[in-house]
Amino acid sequence: MSKKRMITKSVIFLLILAFILKIFSSLSIAMGYNANPLYNYSSYSIFQEPDNSIDVLSIGDSNVYSSIFPLVWWEQQGFTGYTWGQPSQRIPETYEYLKKIYKHQKPSIVLIDGNNLFRDKTDIDNLDSITKAKLATIFPVISFHKNLNPHRLKNIFGNRYSVMKGYYYRKASHRVHKKKHRMKFTRKCWQINKLSASTFSKCIHYCKSQGSIPVLISVPNYNGWNYQKHNALQEIADKNGINFVDLNLELKKQINWKKDSVDGGDHLNINGAKKTSAYLGEYLKKEYGLPDRRGTTNYKQWDNDVEEWEKLMLLDKHRKVGL
C-alpha cells in the first residue's frame, strides 16, 4: 500500500471517528437533562437563560450543585444566579467551562468552589485533566459519557429549561455517624499541586478580565473537609487577591449533620442547601450590593419559576422517600 493511500485512509478514519464522537457528544448532553423538571439540574440549561441575565454564577463539583439553590436568592434578595456543577469536576474543566459560559453570560460575581483544587495531586494527574478538559470542549462525550444510559433516553425529549437553575434537589436525610474533629484549629496547610494552583489563577484572571468579581468558596462537607484545607484555600485566595468564604466554618452551628445531608456527610439535602444559599445570599447582598430585580418586566420569568417550584414541591410532598 502506497504512503499516499495510507494517509488518505487514516484521514478518512479520523473524520469518521470525529463524526461519531460529535453525534455521541450531542446525545450525552441531551440525555443529561431530566424530563422531570424537579430533577432537571443540567448545567447546560444555563444556555436556555436570556443572555447576560445571571448575576451570580456558582461553579464546581457535585458539592456545589447539591448546596447552592439560586431560587433562594431570588426570593430573599432579588438577584439571579445559576449553579454549574459536574461530578468530580477538576480545575482545568472549571477553566474551560468558564470560557463557554462567558459567551452567553457576564455575571457580576463568580463563586468558585475550592474542593476541586485537591483532586489532582500530581503533575501527571493535572496534565491528564488539562488534556481531557481541552478535548472535551470539542467532544463533550469525554466528560458526559455516563449519560449514555438507555434509561435516560426519554430525557432527550424533555424540557431543556431548568426551573432549578442547576441545583440538584434531594430531600432524603442520612445522618453522619462517625464523629471527628475535622474543623479543629491548626496552622498546618494542605498541599495544593502547583499546576492546580496555576490553573486556578488562570480562572481568577479570566473572570476578572471579563469584568466579574471571583470569590473562592467551600461549601459544607463533613467527610471531605478539614482545617488544613481551609488554610490552603485561604493562602491561595490571599495570593490571588480575592475573598474566601468557608461555609464549613461560617455555618458550623447551623448545619445539622444528623438531618441536613443526603448521604451521611458528603452532600447536602434541600434543608442544608437552603441554609447555605440563604447565608450566601445575605453575604453577597451586603458585600457586593447586588441589585433587587424583583418586579421588573425582564425578570418576570423568575417569579414564574418560583411558582413552578412551589407546585413541584406540592406534588413531591407525598413521596415517602426523597431522592
pLDDT at 323: 40
Which listed CATH number (3.50.50.60, 3.90.1110.10, 3.40.50.300, 3.40.50.1110) goes with 3-319? 3.40.50.1110
CA distance 254 to 248: 10
* Rg (the chain; Cα; Å): 21
Series of mean pLDDT values for 10-residue runs along the chain (323 residues)? 82 92 92 90 96 98 97 98 96 97 98 95 95 95 92 85 96 86 87 97 98 98 95 98 97 96 96 98 97 96 96 77 41
Residues 6 or more apart in contact with residue 118 via CB below 8 angstroms:
190, 192, 196, 229, 232
pLDDT at 319: 62
pLDDT at 321: 42
The model's pLDDT over 112-156, given as tens digits with 9 standing for 90+, comes to 999 999 999 999 999 999 999 999 999 999 999 999 998 888 888
pLDDT at 1: 63
Question: Hey, where are the domains in the chain?
Answer: 3-319
pTM for this entry: 0.94
3-state secondary structure the chain: CCHHHHHHHHHHHHHHHHHHHHHHHHHHHHCCCCCCHHHCCCHHHHHHCCCCCCCEEEEECHHHHHHCCHHHHHHHCCCCEEEEECCCCCHHHHHHHHHHHCCCCCCCEEEEEHHHHHCCCCHHHHHHHHHHHHHHHHCCHHHHHHHCCHHHHHHHHCCCCCCCCCCCCCCCCCCCCCCCCCCCCCCCCCCCCHHHHHHHHHHHHHHHHCCCEEEEEECCCCCCCCHHHHHHHHHHHHHHCCEEEEHHHHCCCCCCCCCCECCCCCCECHHHHHHHHHHHHHHHHHHHCCCCCCCCHHHHHHHHHHHHHHHHHHHHCCCCCCC
